Every structure is written in structure tokens, then in C-alpha cells.
Structure 1
């Protein structure tokens, strides 16, 4: 993510590490003989489970990502975004935002210089307020990266628009290397149950439990490409990256050990976490330079590797920012690992170095959702209260100033006084929230 020229401090760069992505923001349990797979019924549902609410935004808005009009360049406290219909899901990209309405329609706003909004913004100012994306299909889930947006239809088809990026800049969304400013359908061999998006890569989980990835693979986040081919596909060409392909485990093909089924998937900024079909194990691949995947050693992983440190619990969410991870267990506990600088782990000022294993934030209880931005973290509890911590420079935390916050701190503001927070999504320099009235009626 390109930092604003007016910022007193830029968000973390990867230029001091092995990875320099230009950003706006163990073993399988399979038998030697593969057993017949039972086809699972497709049950595509919006990620926020149809709870209706209003959209609130805060942070930096110099590319229109707040959706509050061209005169609003930043907000310390949440501001109300005007959208015609009731909203059930929101997602923050690097410098753009998308929202899903109860009608299954997608609205977008923010930076559109690489097609991430999926609509025409040639008229001055139209990118700074919500505008409808014409899809011709009812949408159930959304995902957003730095310069791309992805949408899943209710019948399991995937649409995408914008472009992917790597160290050398944009390389398009499709094998012809072109930016796609309007939605295009992504061909997949089976109906998709879930989508997840990183800074510049996408993961799709099918109804059969198969995992497909596409996009940038430089840090290993696709989990299926040898390091020597991760830069623009090498001699195999761009299609190796941008055409969705199956993620396999380490093992000889045909042995029954290489093909594993998964129950869930979560894309971090530059890595991916996949939960096994029995929900007992977590596998990860991608960037691990600050131990943010909980694996031994700080090298990138190019194939799925069992994360022993995440065993023993069932995880409902695993969210990863640029260099850190926040995980939510099914019993409402929050664990963090990775880089501690600027307070993004929430463990206090004494913990400003990397944390190599999942460490619980004991002050957070009854949590029902977590989120990360590049260098910030969020948690929402069952009472509708939102907590934030991490880098304060971009005003993403919803607090009174731009200081870094080292422990989870309750977010506040006029728009939150009479509302419960449903979910939070962190972008490169901004934050978007879905909130509903405390009496469960959506505000006008």
C-alpha cells in the first residue's frame, strides 16, 4: 500500500525483509488408498449470517475509501455511509471498500485506478461514494485485496475484477495479463462454498472440500507452486498463477497422501491457513518472516505445512495482517502471534518483538469475530462491543488520537452509542464496520 504523503509514519514496509511486495496495505491424515469422498451439500451463506446493519467507516480517506464524499479525507471516529439498501456484509481492501446488501447486490467505493471497484468512475467524485456493481447474479460472499475484489454467488460461482500485483507491479487478473475493470467469471471445476482474499491472492473452497488458489505466489501463498516459478510463472507462463489450481499436500501423486480435503480457509495478507476436513489440524503456507504462521523458522513455505502450535483447539477464524496473525477459537478466545511492533499483537509495550507461538489475549472473552489490517487488529464480543489495537498512525482504531495502542481498547464514537457492532474489516489505511441498532432495528 502506498502511504499517503501527509502521513507522519508509513505502515510497515517489507523492504527490510526478504519480501518486497508492493502493497497498498505436518502431515495429512490420509490412508495409502484414497477412500471415496462423500459429496457435501452446498450451503453458501454470507459471512455475517444475514444480520442487517449500517456501514460505518474511519481512518484515512484520501482515495475515497471511506465512502463519505470527496471532502472527507480522514475520520478518527466512525462515520455513517449512505447506502440505499440494508447491508449484511462489508469488506475493506487496501484502499477501497465493498458492501453486500440484503438483495445480494454489491456496492463499492474508493481507489479505482486498477479496476478494484468493478464499475465506471469516470465522473469526478463518483468513486468517493457507494456505487452499485452490475453483476447479474445474487451474491453471498465478498473478498477484497489491494487491487482486486472477489464475489461468490448463491449458486457457488466466483466473479472477480481488478488486478493482481507482485514485486514488479500489476500483472493482470487473467492469463492475458489484462486488468479487468468489470466483473469476470472465474472458471472452477466445482461449485464453491467459500472465498477468501489476501493482499493479492485468492483461495476458493469447493463443496467437495477441495482448495483452489490463484493470484500472486511470490511468498508461497498459493501453496502449489515451486519457488522458481512464483515470479510471473517463470517459463510456464502467467496462467500458472492466475488460473485456479488445486492445492495438494506434500506426497507422491496417486499415493492417496497428496490430496487432502479441507473444511475452511482463511487468506492472510501474504499467506493462507487451511483447516482440515475433520477440523483437527491447521495447515499454512506463505510468508512466515516474523513467525506469523506459527511455524519453526522464518522462511516462506511454498506447500502446505502442518501448524503444530495450532493443534488442540478448533478455530472459527484465522486472520493475518502484513506480519501478524489473530486467531479466534470456538470457545471465544483470541490468540496472536507474529510481529509485535506498534502494538499489533495487543500484548503490551513489553512485547514489541516477534511472538513465535499462539499467545492468548486473556482480557478478551466471549469474542465472536476478529479482524486485522496491515498493522492493526480488532475483536468483537457477543455484546456488540468492538476492541482495537496496533498502529494508530492511520486513525483506524476509533480512538481519540493517532498514538499506537498496545492492548485491546474499546472503540467509541457517536455512531456507536446506540449500536452494536456486528463485524469489523481492516484495510490498508482505513476500517469498515457493520453495526445495528441495539434494539435490533437497522438505523435509517
Structure 2
């Protein structure tokens, strides 16, 4: 494959597409790192519901064997030609954008509707002068990505999760405002008290804090970060994902880096004894720094694994092996939510899940004690704890010890799924939204505060003539993206 890059030694990763649908351009700013081991090229295909980026590792020019040490670059030796395929949740390359609708608790501004709106039991429109292509609901805040690659946030900012200063303007956390970042953003993620952004050139910025059983951990050993803070400066990242208090990055080389709280095994690189910040370490070892500094997950050398996708649950991580259906998991498993039936203990080492490896997955997302997964045929499965109806298997079901197809959705093709702590959602290809699980503060959007034990079609005036295509559920609120289905109808005052 011929490269049209001016500098072929610089990786080109776009992770979702050029927003104007023109050809991709090289990095607007060079990375600080040098990547001597491989030359990367990319091909992009626009599919019906996804954008895939193919990253090929090409052998470098011949060089002296001692000119670059593996320990200096952190590079992992790849096969002569390894193809890594990254599937993105939001089809940015297709320019599918819409309006934001929210429901649930809004007492700290997570609904983005102003300080007078503290709760909604049905989905309501958020007035924003932007077209939005992605949304993430954090614990008590919301992150939106615009069509032009800007990040907007609203909600609780006590620990810096909004990535902007709100103290100088009254109630500014109750409405959307922009986070200052150095380039276009192609993906966002949100946890309980942190948020992150992946830029078009593969750089990653994160802000807020992580928490563990002892309280605030900080984002770095220096404490919270109220503004975007760059991590992994020497790596090109192609996907990011956030759990409640951990963060996961997938590199262009198929490696996985994690940071944050590791008490439930969700980092995949600590033993149970060394998973907490108070664990005993050797002389001169900064235990907190080890957790907060992004580092590679621990793999047996004999495995020689490279990954092409990552997903997170509240306290868990799922990793898909490149060119394989194998799914490796680590994290909390007390209700078998990561598919390891042999043990109910947290999984601290990276382990193959035979249950999750039995199908081809498009999306996997997890709540506190359950996981919902969507396969490539549009079939939705659930596993884990049954309480509050979060599995969608009916009020007479038991805990699901293996992945179980949800009967109420079997005749529908699903294109997106989402999980809150104890809620689940599914979006059909027709644009209908189904929700189930805990409904105590209106986070299901049914208009009631009752739990739903089976997928329930969400009906509301604001969804008439609108087609839902994206859903994200947080601690006690839910955010969706929807487009207008009536071609003669347009949104009021919407611009990019």
C-alpha cells in the first residue's frame, strides 16, 4: 500500500473519520515521541453503522540491532504484518449527528437544563447550539462531542470532572460549555469523577479524579486535575474507555494501558495484595503513582497477544484479541458479570472468558453487577445480577451465570446498547429506545419511578418524529442522541 503521508515515519490515526468527509490529513501537530519500529498506514471504510480503521504494521528499514532498545520505546514486536481493526461506537465518519435528550436526576446539573430543573422522568430536549455526534453519561456529569470535534460538559464539578473552571460563573455547571483542548476530538469517555478525550492525532487528555475505598485518589500523585491533562505522550491511542474509577487506552500497536483504581482487578496489572494505594511496596516505590500512571496490562509472555478493541464495565475491563473472537477479561466478577463461572472473586490477572469468546461482539458495556453485550447480528445478551430487573429477563428470572439472549428483543435488530449502575438500554435500527432496570429517579424515562424487569419501549412527546441512535446511562441519569425522521421538519437553531 502506498502512503501519501509527507512523513511516513509518523503514524496516522484518525479514529472515527474526518468530520467534513474529505480525505484524511496528516497530524496537525507532530507528536513528541519517535516511533522507529513501525510505519503505519490506514484505510477507512464507511459502513452502515460503524467506522473501521485498519492499522497495518509494516517492517521498518534495516537498522543496527542495538540502535533502538525495546525498553526505551516500549514497542512490542509485532508479526511482520499485523492488521488491527478498531470499531468505533459513534459513526463520526458518516456524519450522523443529532440533538441531546436527557432524563433522571439533575440536582447537580447533569441534565444540562439549568439550575431550575432538578429531575426529569421523561426524556427532554437540551437546548444546545451544536450538532452532537457522541454523548457519555458519567456518575453525575455529562460529556458531549460536537460534529466539529469540540467537547462540551455539564454537571457536578466538585472534583474537576467538567474539565473547565465553573467557580467564576454562577450555575455554569448546569449548562453546557466547552472544554479547551488543542485539537479536534474524535472520542470521549466519562467515569464517576473523571472525563477523557481522544484527539484526531492519537493524543489523549484526561481530567477530574479517580476514587477508591479510601476516597479521592487524585488523577495524578499531585491530586485532581481541573483542566485537560495529557497522558501517554509517547503513544498513539486509537480508542479510550472509562469505568467508574479506571481508564483504559488501546494503542495503534494493539497494546492496552490502564490507570486508576485497581481494587477490583479492573487494571489487569496488579496482584490482589498490591491493588490498593496502601499496599506495601519495595523501598522507594510510589504505590499511588503506580496506580495513577498508565501502564501496560500484565500478560503471560507466551500469549503474545495484541488487541483490537476494549470496553469497560463499572469495575471491569473487556479486551478483544486482534483477528480473533477471543475476549480477555479482568475486574469484579461477584455475579459472574465478566463471564468467569469458576470464581466469584475479583479477577486481577488477564484471563480468557470462554463465554464471551463464543460470539462475535459489536459492543460490550457493563454496570455495577451486570453486563449487556451486542453481537454482530444485532442480538442482545445479558449476564450477572438480576435485582431491579437490570438483566431484562423478567421478574421471575435468577441471576444469569452465562450470557443469555434477552427474549423481548430477539425479533429486533439492535444497533446500540448502554448500561448505568443498575439500568440497561437498547436502540433498534428503526430508532426506537428500550429501557429496563432501576427507575427510582426517572433514569429510564418511562414517566414513572418503577423498576422495569423487561425491555420497555420508551414513549414521550419529545421522541415523536425522532430516531434515537445513541444511548449512555450514568449514575442516576441517562442521555440519548436522536435525529429527526420527518424530512420536512428541522431542529430549531441548530448549528455545528
Q: Calculate the TM-score normalised by the size of structure 2.
A: 0.79
Any gaps of 5 or more consecutive residues in structure 1?
1-33
Q: Hey, what's the Cα distance between the residues in 2 that align with 1:360 and 1:44?
A: 22
Q: Work out whether 1:119 is the aligned partner of 2:167.
A: no
Q: Counterpart in 2 of 1:286? A: 331
Inter-partner Cα distance in structure 2 for 1:246 and 1:231: 17
| Residue 266 (1) aligns with residue 311 (2) | yes
Q: How does 1:235-274 map to 2 (within 5 A)?
A: 235=281, 236=285, 237-249=287-299, 251=300, 253=301, 257-274=302-319
> Aligned equivalents of 1:428 and 1:314: distance in 2?
29
Aligned to 1:70: 115
Structure 1 contact 42–193 (Cα < 8 Å) conserved: no
- Counterpart of 1:374 (choices 399, 412, 421) is 421
Structure 2, gaps ≥5 residues long: 1-76
* 1:35-434 alignment runs, 5 A limit: 36-38=79-81, 47-49=90-92, 50-122=95-167, 123-176=169-222, 178-232=223-277, 234=279, 235=281, 236=285, 237-249=287-299, 251=300, 253=301, 257-296=302-341, 297-351=343-397, 353-364=398-409, 365-434=412-481
CA distance in 1, matches of 2:227, 2:151: 13
Q: Distance in 2 between matches of 1:37 and 1:217?
A: 34
Relative distance call for 1:442 and 1:427 in structure 2 (3 A) is farther
Residues 383, 420 of structure 1: 8 Å contact kept = yes
Mark the structure with the bigger radius of gyration: 2
Contact in 2 for aligned 1:346/1:407 (Cα 8 Å): yes
TM-score (norm 1): 0.88
Q: Is the 8 A contact 1:66 1:110 kept in 2?
A: yes
Change (3 A) 1:46 1:410: closer
Q: Deviations over 1:88-124 (max 9, x none)?
A: 1100000000100011000000000000001111122
Partner SS for 2:482: strand
In the alignment, the residues of structure 2 paired with residue 199 and residue 37 of structure 1 have an alpha-carbon distance, to the nearest angstrom, of 37
What's the offset of the Cα at 1:312? 2.6
* Distance of 1:193 and 1:35 partners within structure 2: 17
CA change 1:52–1:206 in 2 (3 A) is same
Aligned equivalents of 1:64 and 1:244: distance in 2?
Answer: 30
Preserved contact between residue 156 and residue 192 of structure 1 (Cα < 8 Å): yes
The number of residue pairs the alignment matches comes to 405
Tell whether the 8 Å contact from 2:307 to 2:320 is kept in structure 1 after alignment. Answer: yes
Is contact 2:321–2:328 with CA below 8 Å preserved after alignment?
Answer: yes
Deviation at 1:212, TM superposition (A): 0.9
For residues 324 and 85 of structure 2, what CA distance do their matches in structure 1 show? 18
* Shift in alpha-carbon separation, 1:145–1:35, aligned structure 2, 3 A: closer
Distance in 2 separating the partners of 1:184 and 1:100: 18
Cα displacement string for residues 228-255 of structure 1 (whole angstroms, at most 9, x for unaligned residues): 1111173232121111111132x3x4xx
Give the Cα–Cα distance (whole angstroms) in 1 for the partners of residues 353 and 381 of structure 2. Answer: 14
Post-superposition CA distance 1:303-322 (Å, at most 9, x none): 11111112331001110000
Single out whichever of 82-91 and 338-347 deviates more from structure 2: 82-91
Cα deviation for residue 38 of structure 1 reads: 3.2
Which is worse superposed, 151-160 or 272-281?
Answer: 272-281
Q: Distance in 2 between matches of 1:278 and 1:187?
A: 25
* Cα distance in 1, alignment partners of residues 160 and 477 from structure 2: 19
- Kindly provide the CA deviation profile for residues 221-276 of structure 1, in whole angstroms up to 9, marking residues without a partner as x: 00011111111173232121111111132x3x4xxx24410111001100001111
Asked if 1 retains the 8 angstrom alpha-carbon contact of 2:86 and 2:308, the reply is no
TM-superposition CA deviations, 1:169-227 (whole Å, max 9, x none): 11111133x10000011125421110000000011111111111111101000001111
**Bigger relative contact order (CA 8 A; separation at least 6):** 1
Contact kept in structure 2, 1:144 and 1:150, CA below 8 Å: yes
Q: 2:85–2:322: 8 Å Cα contact kept in structure 1?
A: no
Computed over aligned residues only, the root mean square deviation of the Cα atoms, in angstroms, reads 1.8
